[in-house]
Amino acid sequence: MKPIPVAFHIGPLEVHTYGIGLAITFWFAYRYFDRRLKKAGYPTQWLTGVFLWVVVTSIVGARALHVLANLSMYRAHPGEVLQVWHGGLSSFGGLLFGVPTGVLLARRRCPQLRTIRALDLVAPVLVAAWGIGRLLGPQLMVNGGGDPGHPTSAWYGVYYAGDHPNLKVLPIPVFQAIDSFIIFGILLLIERHYAKRPTGFVLAATMTLWGAERFLEERFWLGQIGHLGSVLVQVAGLALFGVGVVVLVILWRRQVNQSDASPDEPAEDPDAVSPTTSEVPTVSTSD
């Protein structure tokens, strides 16, 4: 199963479709985050330069962590370390490098945008982009699937082109995309119906839901016993889930305490999204 070619040629130039998938994903993230910033009342002229640095550092981090998690393989084939067009980007590595880069540069270039508020605004963007990236990367543009799951005889199993074209496996990239879009929908519901939420609530909810998703997927669909990369993903997913739950509880209790202390004046976060504001991920073609 290879619905889209892994590479094609334009004259002597070889074009890898995985790169096209990444470019589309990053473009969507940029446009959607730009839209969310404008709706929240923040300037966006600083975003392009910052976003380019985020793209570069996230790809470097994603590849670096993937290589470290599969070091024995890359020691035997060092020439493949830089061949990102074959797949092999760690989501946690991308976050580990890209998010701090974005936070530091945004603080310099848009000081009125508080860090926690920026993370609240970007969290749904990252989840939506992750879902799109799973479809446009491993599923369609890396031999039909760079991250095939466990073998299965179920009707929804698929045959991927690659090393084992006759092996029917779980279509994990599709499952991951569906999970991510569900989480994205939950985050939009929180923004729409919990307008007086404390700042950081959307971020904490994202950490909780996405951390649980990554752990469960790796544990039951992708995990390889004794494989360092699989273990690291499960640990990182659990850690993200645990931190998210703790932050949600702290924020909720703090808001309850504030409401009890001032019963006539309900606590309201000055950065809260207006209940009439709809942040549906449509993408405009002009600023």
Contact call for residues 161 and 2 (beta carbons, < 8 A): yes
Contact call for residues 174 and 139 (beta carbons, < 8 A): yes
Tens of pLDDT, residues 1-48: 444 566 677 778 777 777 788 889 999 999 999 999 999 999 999 999
Rounded to two decimals, the pTM is 0.81
- How would residue 188 be classed by pLDDT, with cut points 50, 70 and 90? very high
Which candidate, 193, 245, 235, places its Cα nearest to that of 214?
A: 235
- How would residue 286 be classed by pLDDT, with cut points 50, 70 and 90? very low
Give the HSE-up count for residue 172: Cα atoms under 13 Å, Cβ half-sphere: 20
Contact call for residues 69 and 63 (beta carbons, < 8 A): no
Burial (CB count <10 Å: 0-12, 13-18, 19+), residue 62: buried
Which candidate, 170, 181, 178, 128, places its Cα nearest to that of 145?
A: 170
Q: The tokens 């797949």 sit on which residue?
A: 87
More confident site: 197 or 278: 197
Quote the CA–CA distance of 80 and 195 in Å, as a whole number: 48
